[in-house]
Amino acid sequence: MIPFNVPHLVGSEIDNISAALKSRQLSGDRAYSKGCETQLSKWLSDQPSLVVPSGTAALELACIVADFQPGDEVIMPSYTFSSTANAVVLRGGVPVFVDILPGTLNVDPSMVERAVTPKTRGILPVHYAGLVCDMSEICEIAHKNKLVVIEDAAQALGSFYNGQPAGTLGDMAAFSFHETKNIVAGEAGAFTTKHDDWHARAQIIREKGTNRAEFIAGQVDKYSWVDVGSSFLAAEIVCAFLNAQFSHLDTITKRRVEILDHYRAGLKDFESRGWLALQTVPQHCQINGHIACCVLDDRFDREAVMRDLLEKGVQTTSHYVPLHSSTAGRKFGRAGSSMIHTDRAGSQLLRLPIYADLTDVEVDTVLHALDEVLNEHAR
């Protein structure tokens, strides 16, 4: 069977974990945690970053730093993970869901603009499949309306927009190192901001609202409670694992991009038969090979296609249940636009296996199985 996802291990994780154990320094913000932040910042054109327990925690931290207040509206795509909206709801804010573009599958900036009200405080674009949203348009809308932009870059580490790294385009960004991501730590994430004062505040919030980081750096003689906060630190053992993964981010990204290119070359033929549509990647966007997806034509029953692919030994999956139609989405948020393309992606988007250890032969096996299954179902 070709599984949908296999986390890639680089080999040196266990040595790093042993070294962390030997150091007897196991809490957060220790050597490996700082090492991850140094490595990540290199990918972010030297923008500082903070390792946190998950992409979800990074989004929650960003929403605290943004100072969202009860009743504040934050515009985001409906086609995303619950964490994007939860982070806003936990501040008492209201997620306003808008549609995606049918080509890029990213939030439609014209829908974002139309959804702005006097209560809007922020925009939360999600870089779906690692493809960076139209950030020029989004940042212009934000600038005109004095809104904070938080990039949900959970899937986008190693992607670029006009040569600029994902995560450095808005005011703040969140990354994920969940086991399905390009580099993994089981569960971990990272926060980054381009504003130095917001970075300093995020450090305090991460440390239970204390200025412990300043104390460790020898800038104050004792530390105390100075702001709201939580425990958004990642444990040293997790960071030791992640540090090893970071050292291979370059080669992992290259391999995933190769696999995605291989898939896209094969799927182009299916697209020309009208069976499916590929995600369109604009010229100025460099994608990180995170997800291999396509949107099946309406004549296909996606679940039946997935079932038949599994019978042929290929595990595939769908993705998000659109948030505007979910139980919590209806309770805590509202739809700010029509949702034609979101609803189509919700019912027709198919994700194929992709991971650094997938071989070219296996990619061909997946393409062959998909050809057979779609051929059968197209009749």
Ligand X SMILES: Cc1ncc(COP(=O)(O)O)c(C=O)c1O
Binding footprint of ligand X on the chain (CB under 6 A): 54-56, 80-81, 83-84, 126, 152, 154-155, 176, 178, 189
Query: By C-beta, is 186 or 274 nearer to ligand X?
Result: 186
**C-alpha–C-alpha distance, residues 23 and 201, integer Å:** 29
Q: Closer CB to ligand X, residue 28 or residue 373? A: 28
Min dist. Cβ of residue 175 to ligand X (A) = 8
Instruction: Retrieve residue 39's tokens.
Output: 């490595």
Q: Taking a C-beta distance cutoff of 8 angstroms, is the pair 127, 152 a contact?
A: yes
Specify the pairing of strand 292-296 against strand 349-352: antiparallel
**Backbone φ and ψ of 193, nearest 5°:** -145, 150
Tokens of 207: 């440390």
Nearest CB to ligand X, comparing residues 189 and 353:
189
**Shortest gap between Cβ of 361 and ligand X (angstroms)?**
28
Count Cα neighbours of 316 within 13 Å in the Cβ-side half-sphere.
Answer: 29
Integer Cα distance of 279 and 131 in angstroms: 9
| Structural Rg of the chain based on CA atoms | 21
Backbone dihedral region of 143: left (phi > 0), alpha (psi from -120 to 50 degrees) or beta? alpha
Residues 6+ apart with CB under 8 A from 22: none
Give one word for 167, left, alpha or beta, with left for phi > 0 and alpha for psi -120 to 50. Answer: left
Distances in Å between the Cα of 81 and the Cα atoms of 85, 137, 152 are 8, 23, 10
Least CB distance from residue 125 to ligand X, whole Å?
10
Q: Pick the closer one to ligand X by CB: 168 or 210.
A: 168
- Which residue's CB comes closest to ligand X? 55
CA neighbor of 326 nearest in space, from 104, 119, 149, 79: 79
Contact 318, 193 (CB under 8 A): no
Q: Do the beta carbons of residue 142 and residue 169 sit within 8 Å? A: no
**What is the per-residue DSSP string for 43-98?**
HTTT--EEEES-HHHHHHHHHHHTT--TT-EEEEESSS-HHHHHHHHTTT-EEEEE
Instruction: Phi first, then psi: give them for residue 369, nearest 5 degrees.
Output: -65, -40
Shortest Å, Cβ 43 to ligand X:
17
- Closer CB to ligand X, 81 or 161, in the complex: 81
Q: How far apart are CA 120 and CA 77, in angstroms?
A: 15
